[in-house]
Structure 1
């Protein structure tokens, strides 16, 4: 639409030019300059050449227009050539060239010209200072600013805006205070752009209160002012205050809308992000690529595939689907919603892929258990980063190929890529799942070497790994050394102690947490506490904690908490209480609750109730073997072998299969798996011979 409008204007301009030629007015210099500018703006090279010829020699204004146009087009060498050929130059000539060279990063050339320019005006000084700041040379910019003051040239609002930004880039608060004093002295403290820069400067240095005071006392505010203060609360994570500021803004632009959508999406508030996006569209704003990328990511987190496809349609309609950020978000959307086929189609349509795009697709395959596809694509990534490696390692962990995860980690180390906390966390999870203490200790050494030992998440992962590997002493040591502990850390150690048979110590630690820590017990911690009470026979204490969940801790017990109480009562032989408790549950008991009661019946020989529960289990869990196996074991312990056979027959008739038992051992950094009635191990014959020998020795003894 814009192109067609411009084309119509050029057509009218050509007609006007023809009319001026006919009237003999086109040769007048001020009209010729206007016509040249018109053709420069539309980049009509033939017409530009014709207009230059019409000047019949050098024209300073026309030459400056040509320099500015070439700078705009990126033809900086041509702009320099035009400047060097000029027999006469003014402030505009020098400013255009120097600012152009700085815009394209040719700092040395720009400063060469700056040092030789004969003019001392505020525009040239300001253009140089601003250009240096934009090139990340804030210290040099401040040096030029000092020279400017020494030369007697008074700064303007644009100068101060650039200088304040330089102070922020340098992180020099004292220097900023000095500049502020100068701003007040020359009377620019109420200037809108200067005030906006002061707000940004104080925010950059963390002076949030001062930034807010400057904002509050501003008599005039524009959309930049509001967006800057909005960004402050967004960066702080105070989305409630950010939303209040956003609602108060008298004027909003695409940046402020995009900022809110992005932050809500990144913060996990996906539904709110989508809601703001809809408001933006309803208010007549056109979303930019950042908005589309953020809202697509939000929909991906919501698993809202249909809504995502609707947005994809809009993206195709306006032609931004090839944008790398929008494209990556669409890949992420389809993969998170389980549609890796469309995700791959979207990935393949992106012509210029960056590493983020490659990582998105590898992660998508990994999330959906398509490990072979993830490996194939991973090997094609031209420039891998640690996120690439993390994506593949996570895929191995998600598919429970824990040995593979460790092998990929070793390849990552050999490649020279430095692991980050996410890498270590995934590999520690693999170590915990393998119950591989040797690998876990190796990873602990890596954590120390990489300097992550004081990180709360790394510490928690180590606590969990050692606990699951059975080394509760090391788990406790890591926990005690952690400088900061959160609720996940406490959960890991309390649960680890309970599951490793240290139930009383687990409860003692829970009580210590209540007395000394600011951490509030959560549902998982209380589940571990109930587990501990169950395993050390502290039934009354367990019931006290269960009854306190809602009243004291504000946590509504879940099915798992109720099941733990059933297990606790059943283990203690309080079978009738357990039966009454399970009957009075506020919701349908889960299968594990009935299985726990059935297990108690087995232990305490309550066959009549066991048969009743088994019938209930047969209704609830026809495809699960746990209840039938327990019932079979009860019959076996009582010598009722016909009933054992009958139960096994019932399992066969219903197609219920008991999963085979599995044991494993790690020898010389290799994990060996052994399944019940399985002789697939390469050394099964030798192992059998050793077992026979041991058996004969034990018989002799």
Structure 2
């Protein structure tokens, strides 16, 4: 770009120069506002070198602004020197743009130097200084300067301190400034309210409610930005009902796209997916066009392919088909629905794939237990020239079912310089442990310099998975002595260890830890405690834990029913099942019926067992699975109703499974039913010819019927087929 400067007669020189510089200043300002910073600086250079016109304070201010926006500190420093030489630095707007230049360059010393040279700082000067100080972590200096301010009546200056501290991790300081501002009678505005509300999490719900009251008192509930901040605050504090109440309280005219976005995102985060979809529908009925963020949030709430297809169609209709973030969310959405083919179709049609796209597709196949396709996508990623990160390798390790693949991924992580990333190290520990190679997992764990809680959970879980419960407990003890504290996942793993070894003493200590550190409200831990006490033989404590739980889910009831079943308390299990049916908050699932039928079987409750089995089909619509048939056949067989058990097996509803045949042959042996025992043995010998137990049981049935010759023939057959009978062992030493 080149501008021409014309010479005029001497008498009009001043007038022409003034006219020219006004026009050039306007052009310079337009270039800066249009983000054409290089052209703006070229124009300034031409003006500066022109013999007929020279830059004035407006020219200089626009040029410094261009330098600040394009981060050209070198050019900006030259302009600063020019401002000092020409005296133009005395103009407030020149000094303020210099402040902005150094603030954006994160040069706090230069910011302080320029600020100290301003004779009468205005509001912009103060806010720029405070914003730079808080952003760069110099909050103490900002507070010191703020305290020395002669006038503190400007809400913008208070907001600069509050917002600066809030956005840079100094939450308590921000809240203190907000409260001090209120005490001094300075009126809050929508920016201050929004900033301080963003700080309110679980522990600050009470303060958030006080701010809400102040919003009502000062009339700012009519501002959408404040309403949005309040809704977000209530969701962050997990008070969904108050978020809903506020949404309904605010007038419809206040709603904007952000209002619906925060409602949808908050509901999704709270696991209330159905309501999130209803809010999405309400947003469209309010004639508000969904945004990119709307679809990213809504897609997280879709759990069925039908709804997923509808939402994706809406996104395409709204013009978001080419948006990478929306496509990435669509891949995750279809993955959650179990439709891997649809997920891959979205991935294939995405033109601009980013790292998240590739990682999402790899993770999708990992969750679908298809490690081969996950590796194939990784190879495509490499050919596309996209560099993997730690999450790429973490996902690949999670899907690895072969030691060769784990070692290959480990080598690739080394090659890409990511082996020391904590996410990769933790995934390696889990991968080796899952493959039964705890001797390889433990050295990786030991080599992690800065272990996080996931590292500890991975190794403790790894020892449990490999049957090394003692070592798992030792690592848990080491965790307690570290800087980290167990979470719900850790405690669940340890309770599983205690259950597997009937370690009542250790289990009680973990229970004490749960009570002491406020984990008692966690349902999953209550469920694990019920199981642990039952496995340790203390059924009374299982009942006490269950009764003490403020919230119970289906697993809670199942755990107690299973506990009664393990202890042979069939009547109590049935009563617990009936109480569960009366509880409106939960419904029995297939595991419930397995537990209660098992209890009936062990206690010989034929009438109750058959009634419950029939209700499972008629009242709840469940199709019985192998475990249910095994339980009902065992129940009938134990009680001697072998004909009825045979009828169940021969029904069209069941495809006989070896487990069911084993249950029935044991009953035939116990009750000496030769006819049925011989038939069942025939089926078992077709599938398990080399299992000596079949021969032993059949021989016992013949012997019980005094058919000694047939019993001998069975034993002879076992010897001819060279099926070894495994001898019994005793732990008792003579």
Find the partner of 1:402 among 469, 474, 479: 469
Q: Which whole-Å CA distance do the structure 2 matches of 1:246 and 1:418 have between them?
A: 40
The answer to whether the aligner puts 1:41 opposite 2:63 as a matched pair is no
- Tell me the residue number matched to 2:191: 158
Cα distance change of structure 1 residues 432 and 659 upon mapping to structure 2, 3 Å threshold: farther
Q: 2:206 aligns with which of 157, 165, 171?
A: 171
Give the aligned partner of residue 283 of structure 1. 321
By how many angstroms is 1:616 displaced? 1.4
Say whether residues 1:140 and 2:176 are aligned partners. Answer: yes
Worse overlay, 15-24 or 382-391 = 15-24
State the distance in 1 between where 2:417 and 2:311 align.
28
Q: Does 2:434 align with 1:367?
A: yes
Q: CA deviation at 1:458?
A: 3.0
- The CA RMSD over aligned residues, in Å, is 4.0
Report the Cα distance in structure 2 between the residues aligned to 1:452 and 1:220, rounded to whole angstroms. 40
Tell me the distance in 1 between the aligned counterparts of 2:506 and 2:183: 62
Residue number in structure 2 paired with 1:522: 589
How far has the Cα of 1:70 moved from its partner? 1.8
Per-residue CA deviations over 1:13-36 (Å, capped at 9, x if unaligned) read: 565455445544453432333333
Q: What residue number does 1:124 align with? A: 157
Alpha-carbon distance change, 402 to 632 in structure 1, aligned in 2, over 3 angstroms: farther
* C-alpha displacement of 1:12: 4.3
Match of 2:529 in 1: 462
Q: Determine if the alignment matches structure 1 residue 621 to structure 2 residue 684.
A: no
CA distance in 2, matches of 1:380, 1:22: 63
Quick one: structure 1 residues 606 and 189, their matched pair in 2 at CA, closer, same or farther if it must change by over 3 Å? Answer: closer
Whether contact under 8 Å (2:394, 2:423) holds in the other structure is no
**1:257 CA displacement:** 4.1
Structure 2 counterpart of 1:645: 715
Shift of 1:599: 1.8
Whether the 8 Å contact between 1:37 and 1:65 is mirrored in structure 2 is yes
Q: Check if 1:501 corresponds to 2:568.
A: yes
- Encode CA deviations 1:670-696: one digit per residue, 9 max, x unaligned: xxxx5xxxxxxxxxxxx64xx2xxxxx
Instruction: Identify the residue that residue 332 of structure 1 maps to in structure 2.
Output: 395
> Taking structure 1 as reference, are residues 81 and 293 closer, same or farther at Cα in structure 2, changes over 3 Å only?
farther
In structure 2, what is the equivalent of residue 698 of structure 1? none
Q: How far apart, in 1, do the equivalents of 2:376 and 2:249 lie?
A: 44
CA contact (8 A) 2:558 2:592 kept: yes
Deviation of the 1:584 alpha carbon = 1.6
Select 1:243's aligned residue among 273, 277, 280. Answer: 277
Q: What's 1:694 paired with?
A: none
User: Contact 1:355–1:384 (CA<8 Å) still a contact in 2?
Assistant: yes
1:80 to 89, 108, 112: 112
Q: Is the 8 A contact 2:533 2:542 kept in 1?
A: yes
Which residue does the alignment assign to 2:663?
596
Change in CA separation of 1:297 and 1:315 when aligned onto 2, cut-off 3 Å: same
The secondary structure found in structure 1 opposite 2:467 is coil
1:302 pairs, out of 340, 364, 368, with 368
- Number of the residue aligned with 2:460: 393
The offset of 1:452, in angstroms, is 4.5
Name the counterpart of 2:558: 491
Distance 1:386 1:445 in 2: 20
Which residue is 1:190 aligned to? 222
CA contact (8 A) 1:431 1:439 kept: yes
Displacement of 1:319:
5.4
**Shift of the alpha carbon at 1:612?**
2.9
Say if 1:10 and 1:42, in contact at 8 Å, map to a contact too: yes
Which blocks of at least 5 consecutive residues in structure 1 are unaligned? 1-5, 664-673, 675-686, 692-701
CA offset digits 1:463-494 (Å, max 9, x no partner): 32233344445444544555544332332332
**Conserved 8 A contact 1:347-1:361:** no
User: What's the counterpart of residue 210 of structure 1?
Assistant: 245
* In structure 2, distance between residues paired with 1:546 and 1:462: 28
User: How far apart in 2 are the matches of 1:73 and 1:624?
Assistant: 78
Structure 1 residues 477 and 28: CA distance shift in structure 2, 3 A: closer
Q: Quote the residue 1:344 is aligned against.
A: 410
Counterpart CA distance in 1 for 2:163 and 2:376 is: 44
Counterpart CA distance in 1 for 2:182 and 2:583 is: 56
Counterparts in 2 of 1:122 and 1:568: CA distance versus 1, 3 Å: closer
Distance 1:107 1:34 in 2: 30
Could you tell me which residue of structure 2 aligns to residue 219 of structure 1? 253
Partners of 2:69 and 2:391 in 1: how far apart? 35
Q: Where does residue 669 of structure 1 map in the other structure? A: none
Question: What is the match of residue 670 of structure 1?
Answer: none
How many residues of Structure 1 are paired with residues of Structure 2 in the alignment? Answer: 644
Following superposition, the deviation at residue 589 of structure 1 comes to 0.8
Q: TM-score, normalised by structure 2?
A: 0.76
